[in-house]
Amino acid sequence: MMPEALRQSRYQMKTCFQRYVSKGRRLMKNQQLTEELEASAGDDKVDKARLADGFLGYVICSTQEAVVLPPLVAFAVRTNPGVWEFIRVHSGDLSAEEITPSAYLKCKETLYDEKWARDDNSLEVDFGALDLSTPRLTLPSSIGNGMQFVSRFMSSKLSGKPESMKPLLDYLLNLNHRGEKLMISDTLDTADKLQTALLLAEVFVAGLEKSTPYQQFEQRFQEWGLEKGWGDTAETCRETLNFLSEVLQAPDPINMEKFFSRVPSVFNIVIFSIHGYFGQEKVLGLPDTGGQVVYILDQVRALEEELLQRIRKQGLNVTPKILVLTRLIPDAKGTKCNVELEPVEHTKHSSILRVPFKTDDGKDLRQWVSRFDIYPYLERYAQDSSVKILDILEGKPDMVIGNYTDGNLVASLLSSKLGVTQGTIAHALEKTKYEDSNVKWREMDHKYHFSCQFTADMIAMNTSDFIIASTYQEIAGRSVTT
């Protein structure tokens, strides 16, 4: 891309690149690059417009930053979400070459610590995915459509030979709530047996009134090896039976998604939002306390309502529970942050559970701790939280969700320990709030501990089963910036 842009007008390109290198070593942001590109055209409005609208203008517009090490300029070009090119240009002869991300980062480090940049033994960390078996989204159009992508992936895995259905069958055979079987009994241990039972049940419910309650034909279902969980009425049961029949006959993403939206698998949820003063009154404005409290409480209320609706439609008599795990702070500054268990207002089955941080000698840490300084307490916190959770829920949760770095790390630790599904709520990385914090890490890390945060985020993101984001921009940024 860059070589083509440089061939447009070599005179103007040379003028532009001479301006870039004239002020010596520096890191240039997109706005600086654009301004100096326009300035290289002088006062000629036609030339300015030609440059801005030309190939180089497009490249500069897509450039996030550039490292100037005269006579070289290295560009970090983001052409699409998740698609980067790193180009190094010689300002004298305008020769251009594509370089690796590592080479670009070495150029950037040279600006601030040349000795470190040239050290062959300097630390390098691979931030690639830890689990290479997980399907990866490669198209920008797939961003935000994770459920559709997963449905397509699962459909492809289940297609083909009959034995390919075994993972789905095993999953259904393991469904239960507090030891009570759901959907199918152990007698339906082959795909053929399951398909036969589905056919018999579909024909049967088709002859009933749509509104017939499940309880009136529950015994008949059990004779065929079908347990509760298919629906609350004959109509709902018929739909769910049909979705699974279609999946077993010829897996397709649409029926796969429809079927799994009906599966009764989530009843108890734990959400970790640890830092700050997490409460329902007198907390907003206190340190590290703001929008995340309102966001989590709103989501809990909506989540409880969704769970109640789904459980009712599944024909089950089950009470869901949601626990919001946060930190118990003995010196609570007039708030309820020193209360261990507090019901969430406007809910029936949701509570805030507060667990204290422990000091090295096992005592409760009394005072508030900044979100930048809580990392040494989190592993012990995860252990203590798991004991409380298992006691209150009388068993494992079906899902744990983390909020912010600290909550996500603890959710990851607990998910690994208990073997349950993990969700991660995307958040704004603190690094983005402090310009050039990556290259100025020596100045900032002692205060903000970004290295701890990024490591924790990397662990949580890689172990998470799904990521929750409110907007496309949280995942992919905007078209012109990350």
What's the CATH number where 283 sits?
3.40.50.2000
Least confident of 256-260, 360-364, 437-441: 437-441
What is the reported pTM? 0.85
Q: Are residues 224 and 300 in the same domain?
A: no
Judge residue 102's burial from the number of C-beta atoms within 10 Å of its C-beta, 0-12 exposed, 13-18 middle, 19 or more buried.
exposed
- Residue 105's alpha-carbon distances to 110, 155, 429, 442, 444, in angstroms, are 9, 40, 20, 16, 19
Q: Count how many domains the chain has.
A: 3
Q: How sure is the predictor about 410, in pLDDT bands with cuts at 50, 70 and 90?
A: very high
The whole-number average pLDDT for the span 341-348 is 98
Q: Are residues 272 and 252 in the same domain?
A: no
Q: Are residues 342 and 292 in the same domain?
A: yes
Instruction: Determine the pLDDT at residue 132.
Output: 60
CA geometry: angle at 429 spanning 423 and 433, to 5°? 160
The whole-number average pLDDT for the span 446-461 is 86
Identity of residue 173: L
- Domain stops at, among 71, 102, 118: 118
Instruction: Determine the pLDDT at residue 286.
Output: 94
Q: Are residues 391 and 275 in the same domain?
A: yes
- Domain stops at, among 190, 225, 260: 260
Tell me the residue range of the domain where 164 lies: 147-260
Strand, helix or coil at 399? strand
Dump the DSSP string for 35-102: HHHHHTTTT-HHHHHHHHHSHHHHHHHTEEEEEEETTEEEEEEEEETTEEEEEEEETTT--EEE--HH
Q: How sure is the predictor about 29, in pLDDT bands with cuts at 50, 70 and 90?
A: very high
Q: Specify if 16 maps to a domain.
A: yes
Tell me how far apart the alpha carbons of residues 88 and 238 are, in angstroms, rounded to a whole number.
62
What's the CATH number where 170 sits?
1.20.120.1230
What's the CATH number where 13 sits?
3.10.450.330
Q: Specify if 132 maps to a domain.
A: no
Q: Are residues 292 and 416 in the same domain?
A: yes
Instruction: Determine the pLDDT at residue 337.
Output: 97
Q: Specify if 355 maps to a domain.
A: yes
Q: Are residues 182 and 310 in the same domain?
A: no
Per-residue pLDDT tens digits for 199-245: 999 999 999 999 999 999 999 999 999 999 999 999 999 999 999 99
Tell me how far apart the alpha carbons of residues 224 and 93 are, in angstroms, rounded to a whole number.
80
Residue 431 has pLDDT above 60, yes or no: no
Instruction: Determine the pLDDT at residue 161.
Output: 72
Least confident of 48-62, 89-103, 368-382, 403-417: 48-62
What is the DSSP code (8-state) at residue 344? P
Beta-strand pair 63-69/72-80 = antiparallel
Q: Are residues 328 and 432 in the same domain?
A: yes
Q: What are the residues whose beta carbons fall under 8 Å from the beta carbon of 154, sequence distance 6 or more?
A: 251, 256
Q: How sure is the predictor about 39, in pLDDT bands with cuts at 50, 70 and 90?
A: confident
Q: Specify if 458 maps to a domain.
A: yes
Instruction: Determine the pLDDT at residue 462.
Output: 85
* Other CB atoms within 10 Å distance of the CB of residue 32: 16
| 220-224 CB contacts, 8 Å cutoff, 24+ apart | 222/185, 224/197, 224/200
Q: Specify if 481 maps to a domain.
A: no
Q: Specify if 130 maps to a domain.
A: no
Selected residue with higher pLDDT from 127 and 424:
424
Q: Are residues 59 and 169 in the same domain?
A: no
Per-residue pLDDT tens digits for 119-174: 877 767 666 655 666 677 777 777 778 888 888 888 888 876 778 899 999 999 99
Q: Are residues 185 and 80 in the same domain?
A: no
Q: Specify if 134 maps to a domain.
A: no
Q: Are residues 161 and 241 in the same domain?
A: yes
The whole-number average pLDDT for the span 449-472 is 86
Per-residue pLDDT tens digits for 66-123: 999 999 999 999 988 878 999 999 999 989 999 999 899 999 999 988 887 888 777 6
Per-residue pLDDT tens digits for 3-28: 666 666 777 788 889 999 999 999 99
Identity of residue 332: A
- Domain stops at, among 260, 288, 308: 260
Q: Are residues 233 and 360 in the same domain?
A: no
Q: Are residues 255 and 274 in the same domain?
A: no
Q: Specify if 435 maps to a domain.
A: yes
